[in-house]
């Protein structure tokens, strides 16, 4: 189903784009004859061929493993990139908040999974209104306490259609989620008893249980995922409903598939992996199993930042024009890819580049940066340029996507 793709008119607000693009529609960027050298640093770009590769790699793997994908839309908040995921066969799009869900519904996404509890009564009522307005729309959310179920039940007591609610199970040291199976059963009973709600499955997030790919982390993740299966097997669902059994899957999709997919005959196994489409040169490059562990090609980073040298105040040090307003820094600092050295710190609008022995740059030179964590790269950009080849001498700009943060 075609989504409603934002097509704004470019102007001075469009960071990274030159003045001569003012007045162009976003959809006209690809035919404007732009190259990377025409863009204004700092600038974030997405590599089209890497998107193609990552999408085909992961969706082919998911089909082979018998799991479904509801990629996390909050990673990019870009309906044009969501469209690519849906075209590739996504079961739906995941989001993190009721507002993000509204953006997805407004764009035309037919299955929206809110990977969070909704404890705002007004937001819950609005979800009911969205469901009433579109019989083809499906919205699912989570609950990890009887109190959270009570908020939803009160807000939706007169709802025309029930809201699908998944029991979220966590664990000691995790994030949200009920801490015991017994708690999970009480939450499920409360959902079943509420007329405006429907018990739709079990869910959780395995990320906190495995900070790396070591044996201890993998074992902890597997043990946690097995608790999701155990709770699912204890619950009784409405006749005719196919429940959802869902995990995160960005860092441990192989483990989620291994533990959950044996139950695909009685449930939809839905992974919410969001980072794979963009991937990165940092955290997910270290964590992703795609490659030998999954008998696939490795994923490729589809995002880069390009930053210009603005100062070289002392030997071995250069200052770039990309800072915390432009590039992610929550998991790793950016990595220079076209000159030997390392980024040692970021200010709001500067990056400190410590040059390796024998390396040199001059003011005006452009440095390509590898980035870590696409979720905190895209939220700094309202429009992102799409290029054909980041390794070319002067990549062509073949399009652009708008974000909705």
248 and 127 in a common domain: yes
Q: Say yes or no: 136 and 257 in one domain.
A: yes
* Any domain includes 93: no
Bridge partners of 370, per DSSP, are: 304, 335
Give me the tens of pLDDT residue by residue for the chain, a chain 405 residues long.
689 999 999 999 999 999 999 999 999 999 999 999 999 999 999 999 999 999 999 999 999 999 999 999 999 999 999 999 999 999 999 999 999 999 999 999 999 999 999 999 999 999 999 999 999 999 999 999 999 999 999 999 999 999 999 999 999 888 999 999 999 999 999 999 999 999 999 999 998 998 889 999 999 999 999 999 999 999 999 999 999 999 997 889 999 999 999 999 999 999 999 899 999 999 999 999 999 999 999 999 999 999 999 999 999 999 999 999 999 999 999 999 999 999 999 999 999 999 999 999 999 999 999 999 999 999 999 999 999 999 999 999 999 999 999
* pLDDT of 189: 98
**Of the candidates 183, 120, 117, which has an alpha carbon nearest to the alpha carbon of residue 154?**
120
Pair (306, 215) in one structural domain: no
Among the three residues 213, 240, 274, which one is the final residue of a domain in this structure?
274
Q: Is residue 290 part of a domain?
A: no
**What is the per-residue pLDDT for 20?**
95
Do residues 231 and 138 both lie within one domain?
yes
What six digits make up the tokens of 7?
Answer: 């097509």
How many other CB atoms are found less than 10 A from the CB of residue 335?
Answer: 16
* Tally of structural domains, the chain: 2
134 is a domain residue: yes
Residues 121 and 242 in one domain: yes
Q: Tell whether 364 and 398 lie within a shared domain.
A: yes
Is 59 a member of any domain? no
Instruction: Give the Å distances, CA to CA, from 230 to 84, 217, 227, 240.
Output: 34, 20, 5, 21
309 and 367 share a domain?
yes
- The reply to whether 221 falls in a domain is yes
Q: Give yes or no: residues 258 and 369 share one domain.
A: no
pLDDT at site 251: 87
| Final residue before a domain boundary, out of 211, 241, 274 | 274
* Burial of residue 304, with CB atoms counted within 10 A of its CB: 0-12 exposed, 13-18 middle, 19 or more buried: buried
140: domain CATH number is 3.20.20.10
Cα–Cα distance measured from residue 357 to residue 335, given in angstroms and rounded to the nearest whole number: 16
Per-residue pLDDT at 286: 94
- The sign of the CA dihedral 358, 359, 364, 365 is positive
> Which pLDDT value is given to residue 190?
98
Q: Residues 250, 315: one domain?
A: no
Question: Same domain, yes or no, for 191 and 311?
Answer: no
231 and 326 belong to one structural domain: no
Quick check: is 174 in a domain? yes
Q: Output the pLDDT for position 250.
A: 80
Say what the pLDDT of residue 125 is.
97
pTM: 0.96
Residue finishing a domain among 259, 274, 289: 274
Q: Which of 395, 400, 396 is nearest to 381 (CA)?
A: 400
Q: In terms of residue numbers, what domain contains 336?
A: 9-48+299-402
Q: What beta strand segments (E) does 204-302 contain? A: 244-247, 268-271
Give φ, ψ of 370 to 5 degrees. Answer: -85, 140
CATH number for the domain including 362?
Answer: 2.40.37.20
pLDDT of 316 reads: 96
Residue 222, domain member (yes or no): yes
- Residue 130 domain flag: yes
Same domain as 335, residue 376: yes
């Amino acid at each position: 189903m075609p989504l409603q793709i934002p097509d704004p008119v470019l102007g001075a607000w469009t960071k990274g784009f030159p003045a001569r693009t003012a007045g162009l529609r976003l959809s006209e960027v690809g035919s404007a004859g732009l190259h990377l050298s025409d863009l204004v640093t700092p600038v974030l770009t997405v590599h089209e061929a890497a998107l193609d590769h990552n999408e085909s790699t992961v969706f082919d793997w998911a089909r082979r493993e018998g799991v479904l994908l509801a990629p996390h839309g909050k990673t990019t908040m870009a309906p044009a990139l969501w469209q690519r995921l849906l075209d590739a066969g996504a079961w739906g799009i995941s989001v993190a908040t009721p507002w993000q869900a509204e953006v997805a519904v407004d764009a035309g996404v037919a299955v929206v999974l809110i990977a969070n509890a909704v404890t705002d009564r007004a937001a819950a009522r609005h979800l009911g209104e969205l469901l009433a307005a579109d019989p083809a729309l499906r919205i699912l959310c989570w609950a990890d306490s009887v109190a959270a179920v009570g908020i939803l039940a009160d807000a939706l007591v007169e709802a025309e259609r029930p809201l699908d609610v998944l029991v979220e199970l966590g664990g000691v040291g995790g994030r949200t989620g009920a801490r015991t199976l017994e708690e999970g059963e009480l939450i499920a009973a409360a959902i079943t008893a509420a007329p405006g709600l429907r018990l739709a499955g079990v869910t959780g997030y395995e990320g906190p249980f495995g900070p790396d790919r070591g044996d201890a982390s993998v074992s902890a993740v597997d043990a946690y995922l097995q608790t999701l299966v155990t709770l699912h097997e204890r619950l009784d669902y409405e006749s005719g409903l196919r429940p959802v059994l869902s995990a995160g899957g960005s860092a441990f999709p192989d483990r989620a598939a291994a533990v959950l997919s044996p139950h695909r005959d009685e449930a939809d196994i839905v992974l919410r992996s969001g980072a794979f489409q963009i991937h990165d040169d940092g955290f997910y490059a270290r964590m992703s199993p795609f490659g030998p562990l999954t008998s696939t090609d490795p994923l490729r980073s589809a995002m880069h930042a390009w930053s210009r040298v603005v100062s070289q105040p002392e030997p071995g040090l250069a200052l770039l024009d990309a800072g915390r307003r432009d590039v992610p820094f929550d998991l790793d600092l950016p990595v220079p890819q076209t000159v030997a050295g390392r980024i040692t710190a970021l200010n709001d609008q500067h990056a400190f580049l410590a040059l390796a022995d024998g390396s040199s740059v001059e003011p005006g030179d452009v440095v390509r940066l590898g980035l870590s964590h696409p979720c905190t790269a895209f939220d700094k950009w309202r429009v992102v340029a799409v290029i054909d080849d980041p390794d070319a001498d002067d990549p062509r700009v073949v399009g652009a996507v708008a974000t909705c943060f």
